[in-house]
Amino acid sequence: MEVHIFNQQKQLKEYADKYHVQLEAWAPFGEGRGGTFDNELIKGIGDKYGKITAQIMLRWHIQRGVVVIPKSTHYERMVENYNVFDFELSEEDMNEIAKLDTATSSFFSHQDPAMVEWFVKMVEERKQNNRSEKEKKNW
């Protein structure tokens, strides 16, 4: 599910825990939307631990029990993103980060039927385009 500092899925997490369902974050950094990498609170917490904002966000997920598979196209960032197992956020810091939640998607509403219709159409169009690309290659 979409889980990041601005859309923390608190209720969903409670239910997932209750029924032993493992929550995994897609877009664990919210793809940077809304300024996740530049957030002042996260930066301030990072300064205390000598960590960058990406590492604070990943550590927060891990301490909540949310699986993270962050994506980066930069080798140095991949290394940074692994380097989150040598510190622990305090309960106070975890509680401060919890306050950043807006309980709103940074992408689009999955409950809006018009949006779902648009999304399905977009996926279908992509499938069609990919198919014609493959057909071209076979010629």
Among 5, 7, 9, 29, binds ligand NAP (CB under 6 A): 29
* Residue 131 is a binding residue for ligand NAP (CB under 6 A): no
Which residue, 73 or 111, is less far from ligand NAP as judged by CB?
73
> Which H helix or E strand runs over 123?
helix 113-138
Q: Which stretch binds ligand NAP (CB under 6 A): 10-18, 21-29, 90-98, 119-127?
A: 21-29
Which residue, 13 or 77, is less far from ligand NAP as judged by CB?
77
User: Residue 96 and residue 136: Cα distance in Å, rounded?
Assistant: 54
For the residues of 36-97, what is the DSSP string, one character each?
Answer: GGG-HHHHHHHHHHT--HHHHHHHHHHHHT-EE----S-HHHHHHHH--SS----HHHHHHH
Q: Which of residues 53-82 bind ligand NAP (CB under 6 A)?
A: 54, 69-74, 77, 80-81
For binding to ligand NAP (CB under 6 A), which residues are involved? 26-32, 37, 54, 69-74, 77, 80-81
